Structure 1
Amino acid sequence: MKNIIPASEYRRLKLLNLLFFADEAIIKKEAANTVECSVNTLNADIEVLNAMFPEDIAQIHEADKKLSLHTTSKINFDYLTAYMISASHLFQLAMSAFIEENLTISEWAETNFVSRSTFYVKLAEVDNFLARSRLVLNNAPLEIQGSEVNVRFFFYHLFSKSYPYTGWVIQDSDFEKNINEFIKKFEQHMNVYFSLSARVDYATAIAVSLIRLKNGHPLQASDEDIQFWHDLVAYHNAMDIDLSDLETALGGPLPPLEYYMIVLMSFLGSFTYVNRERMNMRVLYNGKFQRIRLKLTEDLLAIVDDRIADTLALKVTLLDYLARFLFIEKANLILDVDYFSNKLVPDIVDRQEILAVLKKYEGLPDYQFVRSNREVIATYVHNLFSIGLSTETYTSALHVKIISKKGFIWEEYLKMQIRRYYSEDAIIFSDGLNPSEHWAQHDLIISDSSIPNITDIEVIVWHMPPTKRDFAALGEVVNARFEKRR
């Protein structure tokens, strides 16, 4: 975030972050020390922030020389961050360049009511940020130039980071509808699921690519890269997805290279695999084509694998995260990996162990991306592993789906009988038999009658009401589960 907005605005964002996550009001002098400014500067920042934010979004209040931040229940810190980004000159210049207004410096300053002297100062800050991201701001007319892949990722992450406030920045509802229809087909074909918020991220990435192509900025790649992208997409059985919705949005056929990029951009955000088969396929792919990332992932997982019974979900999540570095060498180009704000993740993993593994790899020829992004990757892995360990008690319990041909009341009766012997630490009851948004969340099915072979999950058939023999069979499964945990 420090690279996206000017130093003064970054200081104000630090103040917002401090107050947002505080459990009680903070003494003004302590707040000034934390954000590294004088009390007078702090007073000026508070005045600016209160004038910037509408009262129904955020206001800083002072009482007895203590500060507190008042927001509504619908506002989180990401929203406040998005608000400040969308008000930055970087965002405004980027939007002008993206929609190709083709303005000169004078025209842009006049349109946005900024004096030329002030604008040149802001322009220098934007130039510095873009240079770190290996991009260039052309001044006549204003245009962001560089590798087309880098340019697209820059626009995508900037628009994605500002979304909670700006909403969908592509001013074409039909465009959004067509992209959303494609994502639905992508999910069904690939056996993955995007949450509503993750879907917006992916849709933004697709929209940026289509508009850049539509405006005459196609991707360029070597024959070797094209073959690699083709093999990756083909391996994941993504060659036969219906592209008609994207081609309608584009107004013409979608070149293969552009489609490969759209498939690969799905890894920029997050999604859930609908079944374990798909997760295993992802691991096998990395073992065959991306062994360097699988090796790094497995070494990182060794930090926690003796504390987690099933690490498959963690493994594919980490592999998917590292996939974004296939194209991006520097973290500056990935704005969403900035962990400025306090995410309140439980600190139950030693971050130094993670850094030690990364340092072991960063000097090796195939792992240059680790050196450029070590701190960013370490933060992501630390948070991922901490959350994984926090949910281990839940995920390592035996998840049981109860099915009765006699109906719901009998299913609830059976659960009640099982609960007499097993707490939630040992057994958790699952609801969905075939959920559409993630892999099946049950390890065992208990039924009072044989059921069709519609799942590869183990089934045991009980009586109704259950007998001692039935509980003995369940006991064997539970004991085996706990032996595995030990």
Structure 2
Amino acid sequence: MDKDFLIAREFLTLLDTEQRWFTLAEIEKKLGVSDKTISKISEGISKQLPSGIKIEVSRGKGVFLQRDRRNKTVSEVISTMFKQTTFFRLMDLLFTDGGRFTLEELAEEMFMSSSSLKKLIVQLNNHVLKPYNLRITYSSPSMKGNEINIRYFYWKLYGDAYEFAGWPFTKVNFDVINQLISNIEEEKNIVYFINSKRRLSFLVAIVLERVNKGESVTISERNYPWKQGMFYFPMTNLAKMLQQMFAIELSQSEIFFMQSLFSTSQYNYYDHSIMVKVKEAERSKNKLEHQMVDRFLSLLLKVYPNLNMNERFLWEIDEFFDKLLIDNAIPELMLNSNNNLNTYVQKECQQNYQEVQICLQEWNTAYPVVTYNDFHLTKLTLLVSSSLHYKSKKAFLVIGEEFSIQHYVAKLIKKEIGDELTINTSIMKGLTDEIVQQHNIDFVISNIPVTLKTVPVVIISTIPTKRDFDNIRKELLL
């Protein structure tokens, strides 16, 4: 992929994280580039920015991204820049006309020399396409590899390039496909998230293009009970409509392929009661999955006894395992599963991530044929973390420093933990079990040793660390 674009994307994303001046040294360290490169990047990007977004560069201050919050987002700008890259233009040409041009003819279409194009293809084969087990041929350039991987690659490519607006498929009408998906939503009483619905429109268009070129997928019926899934009949009806409209033949495997991605895309039910009925029906049909879920929940409750086990949480856990089994049924999907939240969750939700991982590892001993990856662990960690039910408690804060530090730390803890914790800093006498009970204190937070018998004590640094906050949260769960 274009190196200049990758650096520009990192640069814009960094500047958009905070509304402040970023020093040149800070940017150099984050991006691994020199200050001269930063100036060059800023100058190049500035020419592509819409009105309302401006990059200011100052030798004394650094770099500042000035953006009108009512204007375009940086993500929209990045999508526009992505469509202008040599990488995207080549991939787009290969999707629509792959195999039709010789190397020389394709180079002419790309406005580059044959040697430069061949060098680019080598680079893409060795780096960008390798994780997908794909490659571009040389003599008559076209994409080669497993058909599911090719479709998944293009699904991601067009989703990134046209995330917010635009439609790259000239042979298919967006409104027609979008309406067919709306019919499915109405039939199942669900609503897809906006971006999910948009990407599903891309998926259908990609399937039509590939099938029209004589390409097909093969998916076994033995690996997952496709015909019992809630999207099987909607996909069968969708296939019939597409066959009539575009005069093509869609096999059972093509129906399963679309069903897998319609099932794993994000949606909500309009009616909560219908959601419950659907899940009850699915549980009765798929007893093995029901046993898997119950086994995992029993392990989870040992670690998180105060987990909020409401109907929505149970439905989301059911949905997670259903999607996990679908990914296992199509190994190519498992290989390509990824999420830009993986690194963030592993760092910011480290304790929960590790605890959920241990639960899943123990669960996996009972179901060793089911595999999972970091993407699944990330989703499960977010699901569990958002459902933790903290008890409202009262803590007394002991900081062996002056009052200004004590109040500052109290504010930090309050901001990080939220309304579940009331912090008391008013006890002036010696801290004893009797005084703690008089003030209805549930536990003590302190940066110095405290000896108490009636309530627990959480020891923290003078300025609390992430580990300190995690220890306080754990006390709220008890």
Could you say whether these structures have the same fold, taking a TM-score greater than 0.5 normalized by the shorter chain as the test? Answer: yes
1:254 to 250, 253, 257: 250
Q: Please state if 1:312 is matched with 2:308.
A: no
Pair 1:150-2:149 in alignment: yes
* 2:354 alignment partner in structure 1: 352
**Number of residue pairs the alignment of both structures matches:** 380
- Offset, 1:226: 3.1
**Is residue 2:53 matched to residue 1:50?**
no
- The code of the aligned residue for 2:187 comes to H
Partner of 1:267: 263
Question: 2:413 — aligned with what?
Answer: none
Alignment of 1:168 with 2:167, yes or no, is yes
1:335-359 CA-partner distances (Å, limit 9, x unpaired)? 6x2338979x985963332344455
Partners of 2:71 and 2:390 in 1: CA distance? 26
Report what 2:56 is aligned to: 61
* Superposed counterparts of 1:52-451, under 5 Å: 53-56=48-51, 58-63=53-58, 64-72=60-68, 73-101=70-98, 102-128=100-126, 129-164=128-163, 167-172=166-171, 174=173, 176-221=174-219, 225-228=220-223, 231-236=225-230, 238-239=232-233, 242-243=237-238, 244-274=240-270, 275-283=275-283, 287-288=287-288, 306-310=306-310, 311-319=313-321, 321-322=323-324, 323-329=326-332, 333-334=336-337, 337-339=339-341, 350-357=352-359, 365-368=368-371, 370=372, 373-374=373-374, 376-389=375-388
> Who is 2:456 aligned against?
none
Match of 1:307, as an amino acid?
L
Distance (whole Å) between structure 2 residues aligned to residue 84 and residue 362 of structure 1: 43
Alpha-carbon distance, 1:177 to partner? 3.2
Change (3 A) 1:351 1:342: closer
Q: Per the alignment, do residues 292 and 125 of structure 1 end up closer, same or farther by CA in structure 2, a change over 3 Å counting?
A: farther
Contact conserved, 2:232 with 2:256, CA < 8 A, in 1? no
**Structure 2 residue ranges without an equivalent (≥5):** 393-419, 421-476
Percent identity over paired residues = 17
Q: Which has the larger Rg?
A: 2
CA distance in 2, matches of 1:309, 1:181: 36
Distance in 1 between the 2:148 and 2:294 partners? 24
Q: Against the structure 1 CA distance between its residues 61 and 187, is the aligned structure 2 distance closer, same or farther, given a 3 Å change threshold?
A: same
Q: Which residue of 1 aligns with 2:474?
A: none
Distance verdict in 2 for CA 1:237–1:145, change over 3 Å: closer
For the residues of structure 1 that align with 2:390 and 2:81, how far apart are their CA atoms? Answer: 34
SS at structure 2 position matched to 1:68: strand
C-alpha contact 1:79 1:165 (8 A) present in aligned 2: yes
CA distance in 1, matches of 2:391, 2:169: 41
Q: Does the 8 Å contact 1:219/1:257 carry over to 2?
A: yes
Which whole-Å CA distance do the structure 1 matches of 2:384 and 2:283 have between them?
Answer: 18
Tell me how far 1:284 sits from its aligned partner. 5.1
Q: CA deviation at 1:334?
A: 4.1
* Paired residue secondary structure (2:163): helix
The residue aligned with 1:422 is none
1:39 deviates by 1.3
Normalised TM-score (structure 1): 0.67
Task: State the TM-score, normalized to the length of structure 2.
Answer: 0.68
Deviation of 1:76 (Å): 3.1
Q: 1:173 to 1:284 in 2, by over 3 A?
A: same
Sort the Cα spacing of 1:300 and 1:201 in 2 relative to 1 into closer, same or farther, 3 A.
farther
